[in-house]
Amino acid sequence: MKRHFDEDLDGLAARLLHMGRLTEEMIQLAVRVVVERDAALAEEVKKRESEVNELHVEIDDRALKLIALHQPAASDLRLIAAAIKINSDLERVGDQAVNIAETGLFLLKEPTMKLFDVPRMVEVAASMLKDSLEAFARKDTALAQDVIRRDDEEDRLKSQTFNELIHLMQSDASTIQRAMDVILISRNLERVADHATNIAEDVIFMVLGKDIRHKHVSV
């Protein structure tokens, strides 16, 4: 029974990491819709969204069955609880990617414009997501803490981008619609970083049993 449980637990983690890789791909593709002005890539994002949604249901089902059938010990139970929460965050990351892709389609109808700090926001959010999943896979609390620290940079870049776009709209009314679309994209990227932060916090809870939500203390 213990060997069977361990195999099921490993399978849960593997499916979650697969879902994470899909959401990483979705973010990169969605950003390319904006940067490369390629409408076809939006369809690729939506195709992956369907798989992510299916995994969302499957992973919750796997986790609940593990709890119901095996009555796991504290450390294993924390892993399962973290997997359920990470699963939800990854599903929301997929939603953010779809939002970015759809906004990118609207931008295709307008002349090109400067994206200000959005490219840097993409780098930060994407690296945070990648590293939060790596922290989960390796049970690496130091890497998880580093992800949490980087969220401040993403917030700063979003505020800076917002201020620059407000100034642009005030100086040139013809840019208002495009600027509003870029603001929406920056907000979606900030939310991706927030979800990565949540995942990192869940890793720390999973490994150490410490709930640092809203605290961001060193571990």
For 141-170, the pLDDT digits (tens) are 999 999 999 999 999 999 999 999 999 999
Would you say residue 178 lies in a domain? yes
In a domain, 143, yes or no: yes
pLDDT digits (tens, 9 = 90+) for 65-82: 999 988 888 999 999 999
| Higher pLDDT among residues 4 and 36, named by residue | 36
**Global confidence as pTM:** 0.94
Residue 177 belongs to a domain: yes
Give the whole-number percent of the chain exceeding pLDDT 90: 90
Q: Return d(Cα 13, Cα 20) in angstroms, integer.
A: 10
What is the token pair recorded at 110? 């307008």
The answer to whether position 214 is within a domain reads: no
Question: How many Å apart are CA 177 and CA 196, to the nearest integer?
Answer: 29
Six-digit token string for 14: 């593997």
44 burial level (CB within 10 Å; 0-12, 13-18, 19+): middle
Alpha carbons 216 and 21: distance in angstroms, whole number: 26
Give domain status of residue 10, yes or no: yes
Q: Which helix (H) or strand (E) holds 167?
A: helix 141-171
Number of domains into which the chain is organized: 1
Report if residue 217 sits inside a domain: no
Q: What is the pLDDT of residues 25-57, one digit of tens each?
A: 999 999 999 999 999 999 999 999 999 999 999
What residues make up the domain containing 29?
A: 2-208
Domain of residue 194, CATH code: 1.20.58.220
How many angstroms separate the CA atoms of 180 and 8, rounded?
46
pLDDT at 4: 86
Rounded Cα distance between 87 and 61, Å, is 11
Q: Does 94 fall in a domain? A: yes
In a domain, 29, yes or no: yes
Q: How confident is the model at residue 217 (pLDDT cuts 50, 70, 90)?
A: low
Residue 1 has a pLDDT of 62
Task: Please return the burial class of 78, using the count of CB atoms within 10 Å of its CB with bins 0-12, 13-18 and 19+.
Answer: middle
